[in-house]
Amino acid sequence: MIVGAVSLALQAQVALSISNSAGNFSTVTGLVDTGFNGSLSLPEAEIKRLNLVFDVQRPGMLADGTLHDFNVYIGMIEWDGQTKYIEVDCLEGPILVGTQLLWRHELTIEFVGGGKVAITPLNPNPFS
């Protein structure tokens, strides 16, 4: 289970350990964003600091409906006690945790300042 907290601004936050291909892990705090269908977004400065490897550029749509080309990088995160490769979208603004990471998980949020955020696997067997 991944546990976080709700900020006083009522934003659900979780801390994630992310690393590059060299295996140097660093902790970042992201906002859970169910409107973002990627895995994780990081600003360019954070991507450079982590020295993530560029993968591809692809088009995407922002919440306001505008289309942009986004650089996508490869990173590794600790998720549910395992190391997992993910795509990281380069997007300025707050770090976002998207629905691809939430796939096959239950998200519960206590919407009060300091409330609990919990991301729990639905079923550890991907074939059931």
pTM score: 0.90
What are the tokens at 43? 């600003």
Question: In the prediction, which pLDDT does 122 show?
Answer: 92
Question: In the prediction, which pLDDT does 126 show?
Answer: 58
Alpha carbon separation from 116 to 24, 27, 38, 90, 96 (Å, rounded):
28, 19, 23, 28, 18
Q: How far apart are CA 88 and CA 40, in angstroms?
A: 5
Question: In the prediction, which pLDDT does 125 show?
Answer: 64
Per-residue pLDDT of the chain (128 residues; tens, 9 = 90+): 999 999 999 999 999 999 987 888 999 999 999 999 999 999 999 999 999 999 999 998 888 888 989 999 999 999 988 999 999 999 999 999 999 999 999 999 999 999 999 999 997 665 55
Element (H, E) at 101: helix 99-102
Question: In the prediction, which pLDDT does 89 show?
Answer: 96
Q: Is 80:63 a contact under the CB 8 Å cutoff?
A: no
Pick the CATH number of 17-104 from 1.50.10.10, 1.10.357.10, 2.40.10.480, 2.40.70.10: 2.40.70.10
Q: Is 118:108 a contact under the CB 8 Å cutoff?
A: yes
